[in-house]
Amino acid sequence: MPEQDVTVGQLLLAEYESVKDEQKARIGFRDNLLYVTLTVVAAVIAAAAQAKRAEMLLALPPVCVVLGWTYLVNDEKISAIGRYVREELGPRLAELASPGGGLTAFGWETAHRGDARRTSRKRLQLAVDLLAFCVVPLAALAVFWADPGGQVALVVLSGVEALTVVGLGAQIVAYAR
């Protein structure tokens, strides 16, 4: 039985398919995290309003921080895969296909980044991320703080939660740059 040699180009294309599959899976997971966050926020607010217990709102900050951090990590990996394809994989494959230059592999990976509206979309996405994962839980904390008679332990806990949410917000802004 004859042996087939695997070429470097075939390996690079297989790697490309693999990282793009991972990127697609992460995009789907990341995008669903926003819907999960909205659902959880609505459920907690409804339960707190129905029970007339503002302290139930203290569930929102940790949930939003965990979901927000998971969203952020996946978003960063999605971007890292794109960078890897643009800066490493594409040029290596292009060099194999056209020694000495002249060919660009995976042009879409770079072309879509030059869209004139990209900056405004990125800013809007930053605002949506901050709203979903930071502003909402901080608003819940403000409602809790406005409710008279909060237990000292819960007030202390709410302060820690506020710091955690602000920390997440700082990370979201830092990664957006």
**pTM for this entry:** 0.89
- The two tokens of residue 128 are 């949506």
Nearest of 101, 104, 169, 164 to residue 134 by alpha carbon: 169
Each residue's pLDDT tens digit, 72-131: 999 999 999 999 999 999 999 988 888 877 788 888 888 878 888 989 999 999 999 999
Each residue's pLDDT tens digit, 7-60: 888 999 999 999 999 999 999 999 999 999 999 999 999 999 999 999 999 999
Nearest of 141, 132, 138, 124 to residue 176 by alpha carbon: 124
Within 8 A by CB and 6+ apart from 81, the residues are 19, 20, 22, 23, 26
pLDDT (0 to 100) of residue 128: 97
Q: Which helix (H) or strand (E) holds 128?
A: helix 118-130
pLDDT (0 to 100) of residue 138: 98
Residue 3: which pLDDT band, with cuts at 50, 70 and 90? low
Q: What letter represents residue 5's amino acid?
A: D
What is residue 130's three-state secondary structure? helix
